[in-house]
Structure 1
Amino acid sequence: MTDDRRFSSPTPLHLEVELAPAATSSAGPGAGPASRPAPLRWKKNLALFCLTVVSVFVAGTVWASVTPQDDGVLSFVKALPHAWPFAVPFLAILLAHEFGHYFAARAHGVEASLPYFIPMPIVSPLGTMGAVISMKGTIKSRNALLDIGASGPLAGLAVALPVLFVGLMQSEVSATSGPALQEGRSLLYLLVRRLAVGTIPEGHDVFLGPTAMAGWAGLLITALNLFPVGQLDGGHVGYALFGKRQDRYGRAVHYLMLALFLGNVAYFTWHFIADGLTDALHAAVANGMPWLIWFGVVHVMLRVGGREHPPTEPGELSPARKAIAVVTLIFFVLLLMPTPFGTY
């Protein structure tokens, strides 16, 4: 939960749309890895990363409750270093996620660019839209597809979970009073919160500190990427496990996002009417809006990149990789947040 005094509007932050790292992309069928790897380009990647660092530190001043002493630019710049409890762990989660993809691609001989981080100051509450890795050629085998698809989310989780645990231990448990912005709560998040904080008394809640917010955001972007649809990370994992059947499964999962939006609207309309909120429907739509936006974003991705996943060569996953694929999809279920960020 976050203190509502930080925000002037009850509309929930649409951070999941702005934050989710884009799916790794590949060329169409028939292409293959270049026989002679192209020289590694890094200058543009480094420049974008540096801009993203600044942008995330700017966002961190909100989550760390850093208030400049005056309205001057110099005062604001002096406040930026105090945002590190959010910015540093959050950047570490993003780096782990993206370089998990990068090193897995390189290990399988797939030509991949360094991550292109996307700064998004002010507009995004986390300061970034994530990152994109460009790949040339197809990923030939299902084993390679699984490794590349699952490596990013699993590497990001390996950093996000301890960050969240430590951040929750540092967060304050206080009595709740009045409306507040509440973070989305997945099964895995609730388990980590229970381990870190213990039983929370009735009428109280955990008010997330900046480090806990960074870990929570890491869980959210991982969940969004693990949706088994299209060329999101979860789509790669699903195709590696199910083959062509994944195209059919992915279409159904895509409409799950729309179902989550409608479910939120129905639940919160009833909830807010019971609380006497005069504009209950507007507030309910606002709480469910992240899923409608994510549904639209994925729809555009499918229109641009194709509704069918690029095929791989014939062959089955190795037994160990089948287990990894199943575990990765279980993580998707454990990370799914019915309401990513809502006003209560």
Structure 2
Amino acid sequence: MPDFRYEKTKLTAGRNYPLHLSLFVATLLTTTWAGAIWTGKPPETESVGGFLSALKTGVPFSLSLLAFLTVHEFGHFFATVRHGIRSTLPYYIPLPPLPFLMSIGTLGAVIRMKEPILSRRALFDIGVAGPLTGFAVALGLLAYGFTHLPPAEYIYAIHPEYRVTGGIPSAPTETLYLGKNLLFILLEALIGPKGLPPMHELYHYPFLFAGWLGCFVTALNLLPVGQLDGGHVIYAMFGGEGHRKISKLFLAFITILGAPSFIAAILQLIDPAIVIPAPELLLRWSWPGWIIWAFILRRFLGTKHPHAGSDRPLSKRRMIVGWACIAIFVLTFTPVPFAII
């Protein structure tokens, strides 16, 4: 008969609870600070009352984003517990908003496994748990944001100059645009919200912005490459050879997707006088960041997944869940997540 007291001790040994808690509190502060900035109320230091009042406006964004990160990472964590694999609690990574950096207050959160995964079944369960649970939170945030939009006065309080110009400009220059993913487009069509902001104003709306970020992070985690969550899922579903082929194909895809705008950016650096045909159209259909991601993924994660113990195929139920994860990736993947036009 197994000694469950020993199993519990093994799984919880060596955890530094004060460190995890301190990182969480620090990230709560930095994301609240960032949220206040993104919603247009950057905290001032002239008075304590004014600082706290402005800081309070960042709480909805902070709690929403931390809810997504926490549920995602604890999805992984509880899956490791289920399979008896020692792992850490989530390490939250705070990132203070700096003047030269468009920060959301955090670099995310991670858990670290202290034992190898010895079966494709365990690898699959751990890999899918984070994206599935995190996606549920991101979907909920978007649905709530779509159905609880503030009145028009909200955006005018942030941009009083819009009253003078007759409303929100449709295509301002030197402005950050957030790209739409398929899920966002579908929700927009199904809910038909009145007063939905254009994508260059979305970051002023904390629930929509946090939901959009949750989708973006979910898609990044589900990239079918290396040992990302998506790589784990693809390896568990299709084996090592299938994983290698899909990884190479996807790296080629994002390289092609990012190449036009990346080449245009390089040409502009070489000679600013070079005329780029239809630059706005180019930036709306190509994101140079994919070239950087392709380099990072190929150089540091590679296209080969390490062997994960037993090669026993997944059950039909797990394969269905795997295809659901692939569908979530398609829904949340944003070809051009950011653009400054």
The normalised TM-score by structure 2 is: 0.78
Paired AA for residue 226 in structure 2: G
The 5 A counterparts of 1:139-218 are 139-169=117-147, 170=149, 176-179=170-173, 180-198=175-193, 205=198, 207-208=201-202, 209-218=205-214
Matched, 1:236 2:232: yes
Paired AA for residue 131 in structure 1: A
Task: Provide the rounded CA distance (Å) in 2 between the counterparts of 1:297 and 1:34.
Answer: 38
Aligned residues between the structures = 302
Q: Using the TM superposition, give the Cα deviation of residue 95 of structure 1 relative to its aligned residue in structure 2, in angstroms.
A: 0.5
Give the greater-gyration-radius structure (CA): 2
Structure 2 counterpart of 1:262? 259
Matched, 1:79 2:54: yes
Structure 2 counterpart of 1:227? 223
Task: Provide the rounded CA distance (Å) in 1 between the counterparts of 2:209 and 2:57.
Answer: 15
Paired AA for residue 141 in structure 1: S
Paired AA for residue 126 in structure 1: I
Matched, 1:324 2:321: yes
Task: Provide the rounded CA distance (Å) in 1 between the counterparts of 2:117 and 2:151.
Answer: 46
Q: Among residues 32, 39, 48, which one is paired with 1:57 in the alignment?
A: 32
| 1:164/1:211 contact within 8 Å kept | yes
Alignment identity in percent? 35
Task: Provide the rounded CA distance (Å) in 2 between the counterparts of 1:147 and 1:67.
Answer: 41
Paired AA for residue 298 in structure 2: H
Task: Provide the rounded CA distance (Å) in 1 between the counterparts of 2:260 and 2:324.
Answer: 27
Q: Tell me, what secondary structure is at the counterpart of 2:58? A: helix
Structure 2 counterpart of 1:250? 247
Paired AA for residue 211 in structure 1: F
| Residues 67, 244 of structure 1: alpha-carbon distance in 2 compared, 3 angstrom cutoff | closer
| 1:258/1:295 contact within 8 Å kept | yes
Matched, 1:297 2:296: yes
The normalised TM-score by structure 1 is: 0.77
Structure 1 segments, 4+ long, off by >4 Å, are 69-74, 171-175, 198-201, 263-269, 277-287
Q: Among residues 96, 103, 118, which one is paired with 1:121 in the alignment?
A: 96
Q: Tell me, what secondary structure is at the counterpart of 2:59? A: helix
Paired AA for residue 193 in structure 1: E
Instruction: After superposition, give the CA deviation of every residue in 1:208-267 in whole Å (9 maximum; x if it has no partner).
Output: 212110110000000011001111010010011001121232132223322221144589
Paired AA for residue 120 in structure 2: R
Q: Among residues 308, 311, 324, which one is paired with 2:305 in the alignment?
A: 308
Structure 2 counterpart of 1:12? none
Q: Using the TM superposition, give the Cα deviation of residue 72 of structure 1 relative to its aligned residue in structure 2, in angstroms.
A: 5.8
Alignment RMSD (CA, Å): 3.3
Q: Using the TM superposition, give the Cα deviation of residue 58 of structure 1 relative to its aligned residue in structure 2, in angstroms.
A: 1.2
| Residues 39, 82 of structure 1: alpha-carbon distance in 2 compared, 3 angstrom cutoff | same
Task: Identify which of structures 1 and 2 has the higher relative contact order when contacts are C-alpha pairs closer than 8 Å and 6+ apart.
Answer: 1
Task: Provide the rounded CA distance (Å) in 1 between the counterparts of 2:198 and 2:53.
Answer: 32
| Residues 78, 233 of structure 1: alpha-carbon distance in 2 compared, 3 angstrom cutoff | same
Paired AA for residue 141 in structure 2: V
Instruction: After superposition, give the CA deviation of every residue in 1:60-80 in whole Å (9 maximum; x if it has no partner).
Output: 012221144565676434421
